[in-house]
Structure 1
Amino acid sequence: MFIFHKETTLDDLGNGVTRRILAHDGNMMAVEVNFEQGAIGPMHNHPHEQLTYVLSGEFEFTIGEEKHVVRAGDTLYKQPNIMHGCVCLKPGTLLDTFTPIREDFLHG
């Protein structure tokens, strides 16, 4: 399967955050999330496993009880149902991978 950037849609989530679903099948989904400085990814949890790769920028992430500043090249793993969220310290982009796919992103 090939997915071309020009064929994807950028969704404005408000408050300085945009999301682009890059690819998905029945088991896995890749999503680009862009943050303006100061934008917040509110604390939340979900039943999906999630890997986040920091493409650019700087973020303060909280996963469970841990809090760290991450930058381009850093990777985070979030196990199912763990509370997590972030604050964008410098404008940046994250690449999120979920399994199983986030049906709520497709139909929300």
Structure 2
Amino acid sequence: MTTKNYFPASENPVADAGGGLKRVVAAYNTNLMCVEAHFETGTVAALHSHPHEQITYVISGKFEFKVGDETYYISAGDSLYKQPNIMHGATCLQAGTLLDIFTPHREDFL
């Protein structure tokens, strides 16, 4: 993968992930990826796991997150860490945007 340093928003396509979820991949390289996730109220991100470490920062909205055996109610300014292979999912309680950081990058998002 060639290293790219600048990712203008006008060149970052919006991917419709279905069910009220839209995703915009921003900056990334082999080891790191930044993704905006836009949720409509009521959207459910089903429980899943992946081998990536993930940090989620709430830009706006309200969400119920399940991470492992814990449930968290989070809103703007809150953040979560998800270790590799842990089951996690979310329900959007109020439309909003999350900023997800993954390491390494998510090949399935490209």
Smaller-chain TM-score bracket: over 0.9
> Helix, strand or coil for the counterpart of 2:109?
helix
Post-superposition shift, 1:104?
1.1
* Partner SS for 2:10: helix
2:45 and 2:31 map into 1 onto residues whose CA distance is 24
* Structure 1 unaligned residues grouped into runs of 5+: none
Q: What's the TM-score once normalised by structure 2's chain length?
A: 0.95
* TM-score normalised by length of structure 1: 0.97
Q: Which residue of 1 aligns with 2:101?
A: 97
Q: Decide which moves more: 2-11 or 75-84.
A: 2-11
Q: Secondary structure in 2 aligned to 1:94?
A: strand
How far apart are 1:68 and its partner, in Å?
1.1
Aligned residue number for residue 33 of structure 2: 29
Aligned counterparts of 1:103 and 1:2: Cα–Cα separation in 2: 19
Q: Offset at 1:85?
A: 0.2
How many angstroms apart in 1 are the aligned matches of 2:17 and 2:51? 21
Taking the aligned partners of 2:76 and 2:44, their CA distance within structure 1 comes to 18
- TM-aligned CA deviation for residue 57 of structure 1: 0.1
Q: Of 72, 77, 97, which residue of structure 2 is paired with 1:73? A: 77
Q: Identify the residue that residue 82 of structure 1 maps to in structure 2.
A: 86
Structure 2 SS opposite 1:47: coil
Distance 2:72 2:50 in 1: 21
Equivalents in 1 of 2:82, 2:12: separation in Å?
Answer: 25
Identical columns (%): 54
Deviation at 1:29, TM superposition (A): 0.4
Post-superposition offset of 1:3: 1.3
Q: Deviations over 1:7-66 (max 9, x none)?
A: 100001111000000011010000000000000011000000000000000000000000
